[in-house]
Amino acid sequence: MPKITSIEPQTWQELEQIVTDILSECGMEAERNVSLDLPRGNVDVDVLAKENVDGIIHQTVCECKNWSTNIPKEVVHAFRTVMQETGANRGYIMPKTGFQGGAIKAAEATNISLVTFLEFQDAYFKKWFKKSIWALENKINGFHTYYEPLGKPGYHQLSNDDERSAYDEVWNKYLFAGLILIHFSPYMQMIGEYPIPALPFDVSELEKQGVVVPEDIKVAEGYRDFFYILERNALAGLQELRAVNPITRGKSSEEIVSED
pTM of the complete model:
0.91
Domains of the chain, each with CATH number or no CATH: 12-123 (3.40.1350.10), 140-244 (no CATH)
131 vs 246: CA distance, rounded Å? 34
Residues 110-166: tens digit of each pLDDT = 999 999 999 999 999 999 999 999 999 999 988 999 999 889 999 999 999 999 999
Mean pLDDT over residues 175-180, rounded? 98
Residues 209-249: tens digit of each pLDDT = 999 999 999 999 999 999 999 999 999 999 999 999 999 99
Provide the percentage of residues in the chain whose pLDDT is more than 90.
74
Whole-number pLDDT of residue 103: 92
**How sure is the predictor about 194, in pLDDT bands with cuts at 50, 70 and 90?**
confident
Q: Are 41 and 96 in contact (CB under 8 A)?
A: no
